[in-house]
Amino acid sequence: MTPSDLTECLNTHTGTPRDPCSNPPLHSKSHGQPSQPRPTPLPLCVRDMELITNVTEYEKLAKEKLPKMVYDYYASGAEDQWTLKENREAFSRILFRPRVLIDVSRIDMATNVLGFNISMPIMIAPSAMQKMAHPDGELATARAAASAGTIMTLSSWSTSSVDEVNSVGPGIRFFQLYVYKDRNIVRQLVKRAEMAGFKAIALTVDTPILGRREADIKNRFTLPPHLTLKNFEALDLGTMDKTNDSGLASYVAGQVDRTLSWKDIKWLQTITSLPILVKGVVTAEDTRLAIEYGAAGIIVSNHGARQLDYVPATISCLEEVVREAKGRLPVFLDGGVRRGTDVFKALALGASGVFIGRPVLFSLAVDGEAGVRKVLQMLRDELELTMALSGCTSLREITRAHVITDSDRIGRSRL
């Protein structure tokens, strides 16, 4: 909410604040005066924020507030958007097997990720160009994550630089990386992230080329002219053709290296000592290769359903990856998480934690840092509730026996 929105919410003819969300009666009977027309509805106001009770409500509010081009960029998926829907719907097909008569007066949600202690297994995924959502962009997200005691992953296509994000204060932060044709760009990005205190690299491996996002094509999406990809601003990019209408953003997207292969993980390990998470693995075969090539962890992800359509939901791929990993490295889930129940289901299927993306963007658009804080708090509260009602007092007590999946039902029907 902008200061002008708040001011308009609190305006009053009498000089004293009124309930900004209330409407006057349709008819006024005082002193026989004629009835007055209902005034134009006021902007989003303080009580609207208080009435937000779940994460998904932020998306509708963000759609009303954001320019269509920006909302569509954040919200849309690839092609038919089947996977976009399936990322959510697959969670609804997983049911609970709660245990009862267990003392749940104390519940501990703390965990450890790559040696870093965090307050809960809910972290922030990399999302590009957050200043399109709110003027504070990634800086607000970083502050909210630090306040919640969890990890933020900064997109390399962010509208705030690693140094700017670091300047907001202490926090555990990872840096998302694409590998570019010019490896000198990669070296510079990784070095700057290291110097800014980032603790790990999340290497995106499902994007040798950008997926076909038809909403962006129709909208002719470009980064708004007052914004730039800050991590590239101070780099030596060599000769850059700025004649196209997207400038730096189009240039950078066009520089993603299609030749990226598993051997490049070994190359990355020669230029950084930071642990490397591989983001975009959805199969057992690639899990084996990630382990073979020395990945520190796997993020099961389909890029928010923005790359290849008709791949399964990430929650549907999770157990295959976990089984192949056999505890040799942590496996995380990214995609479709909107409830604390979703977090519990992912943990029950073997995830060490989850990352959330769109909920952060939509809450950031609606209410800046406060919105992101509220999303993190709501998910934390819902996870705590789910744990209590399932009879779990710590994350290690959440097991496969607490959930029933489609495969379980099929297996039982064959007995």
Active site residues: 303
357 in a known ligand binding site: yes
Query: Is 127 one of the annotated binding-site residues?
Result: yes
- Residue 204 known to bind ligand: yes
Query: Residues 6 or more apart from 37 whose CB is under 8 A from it?
Result: none
Q: Does 193 belong to an annotated binding site?
A: no
Residue 176 is labelled as binding a ligand? yes
Closest among 299, 68, 267 to 180, alpha carbons compared:
267
Residue 224 in marked binding region: no
Q: Is 17 annotated as a binding residue?
A: no
Is residue 407 a known part of a binding site?
no
User: SS3 for 334?
Assistant: strand
153 assigned binding-site residue:
no
Phi and psi angles of residue 172, each rounded to the nearest 5 degrees, phi first: -95, 120
Q: Consult the annotation and say whether 414 binds a ligand.
A: no
Is 381 labelled a binding residue? Answer: no
Distance CA 384, CA 394 (A): 9
Structure tokens at 188: 């510079």
* Separation of CA 11 from chain center: 36
User: Is the separation of the CB atoms in 138 and 159 below 8 Å?
Assistant: yes
Contact (Cβ atoms closer than 8 angstroms) between residue 364 and residue 59:
no
Q: Which helix (H) or strand (E) holds 173?
A: strand 173-177
Please tell me the distance from the alpha carbon of residue 203 to that of residue 50, in angstroms, as a whole number: 37
The answer to the question of whether 155 is labelled as a binding residue is yes
Residues in the chain: 415
Residue 293 in marked binding region: no
Cβ atoms of residues 154 and 138 within 8 Å: yes
* Listed residue (216, 203, 204, 220) closest to 75, CA to CA: 216
303 in a known ligand binding site: yes
Known binding site for FMN: residues?
Answer: 126-128, 155, 176, 204, 279, 301, 334-338, 357-358
Known binding site: residues?
Answer: 73, 126-128, 155, 176, 178, 204, 213, 279, 301, 303, 306, 334-338, 357-358
Known binding site for glyoxylate: residues?
Answer: 73, 178, 213, 303, 306
